[in-house]
């Protein structure tokens, strides 16, 4: 079996898959749709990061694909519904780089408040500018976090520990950490925050959620940070509010259009602005985070292929089966319809097999059941189940 890993995925993932017997091809950059269509035949496992987009056409070309691993947090670069329709599992790493993103944001808050970019640039120009003008402590300031998920909550904890007051807004009902206070609306958060930091996901409904209207509602001389998704923010509106002086500084790590490969040219309306930090989508790009992501997603690949586990899959029913020794396992992905489970049980009974474990769940129009028995079903019985109109795929494992 072959795995294709793109975009400089950490070598621990390559090694884990090679140790498991895979032929692994690595490429340092993302691939275009045409390049993916050409590269995917024969590939069972595809590893990507945020810059590779998996369209229905790409999925059509991936006839041998079993799973896609997003070696990052986001999965909006993959057409999840089309992958699910084809029975291709998609995994990501929702927790592995949260600390790295949080540390970057905290560093940016301090750098913006102290105007460290300007001080450093003037020193490099040979100018000694020892002045407190425009430089502030962050202690006692209010940080507004938009999106209170894995990253937002950890940022909340760290920010409070260094003396920031924290308010947050999220469309989901999430409990507050520490002394953080929930805002009932985005407008309420913008009205009270000295710093606004975005940590929302890439769902289509979030596109353009932060534009001229939202910047105008922020406090005068407040600071703005986006380490979530580039398409969320209107960069031109941000530029206008920085040039007007309404926004005192900004730090942007994600952009609506990002270069495909290392060293490619980059452009943005935010280039050249005073007290604006631009970083090339490196929020989660620390050695520690990338190594942890490499271990995590490659582990999900192998558990799926070798044991049928879909634990933490973002598009298929998530089943985390036990590990009975000596059992014969059937992994069965099917349409979510009445009578499917009864059909499986009947075949098992006809085989004279005893069920030693069974785990199942559904997600939308898909159901997934893992059944462990004390003896295998015959090939003719398995073939009968495969012929069912409800079958997406059926795979067997010996534990």
With a CB cutoff of 8 Å and minimum separation 6, the contacts of 352 are 375
Distance CA 180, CA 6 (A): 39
323: Cα within 13 Å, side-chain hemisphere:
5
Which residues are bridge partners to 5 per DSSP? 26, 47
Distance CA 143, CA 169 (A): 11
What are the C-alpha distances in Å from 169 to residues 39, 181, 356? 42, 9, 47
User: In the prediction, which pLDDT does 122 show?
Assistant: 93
Do 197 and 71 lie in one domain? The reply is no
The answer on 40 and 52 residing in a single domain is: yes
Which pLDDT value is given to residue 324?
Answer: 84
Regarding whether 268 and 131 lie in a shared domain, the answer is: yes
Residues 69 and 133 in one domain: no
- Of the candidates 278, 304, 339, which is a domain's last residue? 278
User: What is the β-pairing status of strands 2-5 and 23-26?
Assistant: parallel
Q: Which of 281, 329, 334, 366 is catalytic?
A: 281
Would you state the pLDDT for residue 263? Answer: 87
- 81 and 107 assigned to the same domain: no
Dihedral of alpha carbons 176, 178, 181, 185, sign: negative
Annotated catalytic residue 258: yes
Cβ 190 vs Cβ 162: under 8 Å: no
270, 239 in Cβ contact below 8 A? yes
Cα separation, 373 vs 357, whole angstroms: 7
| Per-residue CA distances from 13 to 6, 296, 309 (Å) | 11, 8, 18
- Cβ neighbourhood burial of 325 (10 Å; 0-12, 13-18, 19+): exposed
Is residue 203 located within the same domain as residue 72? no
Query: Distance (Å, rounded) from C-alpha 298 to C-alpha 2?
Result: 13
Q: What are the contacts of 172-176 at 24+ separation with CB within 8 A?
A: 172/148, 174/148, 174/149
Please report the pLDDT score of residue 6 as a whole number: 97
CATH number where 385 lies: 3.30.70.260
> Considering its fold, how many domains does the chain have in total?
3
For residue 115, the model assigns a pLDDT of 95
Q: Which residues lie below 8 Å from residue 322, measured CB to CB, with a gap of 6+?
A: 357, 359, 372
**Same domain assignment for residues 83 and 201:** no
Of 258, 295, 384, 395, which residue is the catalytic one? Answer: 258
The DSSP result for 47-99, as a single string, is EE-TT--B-HHHHHH-TT--EEEESSS--TTB-HHHHHHTT-EEE--SSTTHH
Residues 311 and 329 in one domain: no
What's the domain range around 329?
Answer: 317-399
Q: How far apart are CA 377 and CA 329, in angstroms?
A: 10
Q: In the Cβ-directed half-sphere of 129, how many Cα atoms lie within 13 Å?
A: 17
50, two tokens: 């945020």
What's the CATH code of the domain at 22?
3.40.50.720
Q: Global pTM? A: 0.85
Same domain? For 241 and 124 the reply is: yes
CA distance 217 to 188: 9
Same domain, 386 and 269: no
In this prediction, residue 305 carries a pLDDT of 97
Quick one: 218 and 344 in the same domain? no
pLDDT at 325: 86
Catalytic residue among 115, 141, 165, 229: 229
Could you tell me if 391 and 330 are in contact, meaning their C-beta atoms sit under 8 angstroms apart? no
Which of 250, 278, 306 is the C-terminal boundary of a domain?
278
Average pLDDT along the chain, 399 residues, taken 10 residues at a time: 96 98 96 96 96 96 97 93 97 93 98 95 95 94 97 98 98 95 98 98 90 98 97 97 97 93 91 96 93 97 97 96 90 95 91 93 96 93 94 95
Residue 130, both tokens: 């020892």
The reply to whether 203 and 228 lie within a common domain is yes
């Amino acid at each position: 079996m072959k795995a294709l890993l793109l975009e400089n995925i950490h070598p621990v993932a390559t090694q884990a898959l090679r140790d498991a017997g895979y032929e692994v091809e690595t490429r340092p950059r993302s691939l275009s749709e045409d390049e993916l269509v050409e590269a995917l035949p024969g590939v069972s496992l595809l590893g990507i990061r945020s810059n590779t987009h998996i369209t229905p056409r790409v999925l059509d070309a991936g006839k041998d694909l079993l799973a896609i691993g997003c070696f990052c947090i986001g999965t909006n670069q993959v057409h999840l519904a089309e992958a699910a329709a084809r029975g291709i599992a998609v995994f990501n790493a929702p927790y592995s780089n949260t600390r790295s993103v949080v540390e970057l944001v905290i560093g940016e808050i301090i750098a913006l408040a102290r105007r460290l970019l300007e001080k450093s640039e003037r020193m490099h120009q040979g100018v000694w500018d020892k002045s407190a003008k425009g430089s502030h402590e962050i202690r006692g300031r209010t940080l507004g976090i938009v999106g209170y998920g894995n990253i937002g909550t950890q940022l909340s904890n760290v920010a409070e520990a260094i003396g920031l007051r924290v308010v947050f807004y999220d469309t989901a009902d999430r409990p507050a950490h520490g002394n953080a206070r929930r805002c009932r609306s985005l407008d309420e958060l913008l009205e009270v925050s000295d710093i606004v930091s975005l940590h929302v996901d890439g769902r289509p409904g979030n596109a353009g959620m932060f534009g001229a209207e939202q910047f105008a509602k922020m406090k005068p001389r407040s600071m703005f940070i986006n380490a979530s998704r580039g398409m969320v923010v209107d960069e031109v509106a941000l530029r206008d509010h920085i040039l007007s002086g309404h926004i005192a500084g900004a730090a942007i790590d994600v952009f609506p259009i990002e270069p495909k490969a290392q060293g490619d040219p980059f452009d943005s309306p935010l280039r050249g602005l005073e007290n604006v930090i631009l970083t090339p989508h490196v929020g989660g790009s620390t050695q520690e985070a990338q190594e942890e992501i490499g271990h995590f997603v490659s582990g999900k690949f192998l558990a799926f292929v070798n044991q049928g586990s879909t634990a933490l899959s973002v598009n298929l029913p998530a089943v985390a089966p036990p590990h009975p020794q000596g059992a014969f396992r059937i992994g069965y992905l099917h349409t979510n319809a009445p009578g499917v489970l009864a059909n499986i049980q009947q075949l098992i009974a006809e085989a004279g097999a005893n069920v030693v474990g069974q785990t199942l769940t559904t997600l939308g129009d898909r159901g997934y059941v893992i059944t462990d028995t004390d003896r295998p079903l015959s090939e003719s019985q398995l073939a009968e189940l495969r012929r069912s109109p409800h079958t997406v795929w059926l795979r067997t494992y010996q534990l």
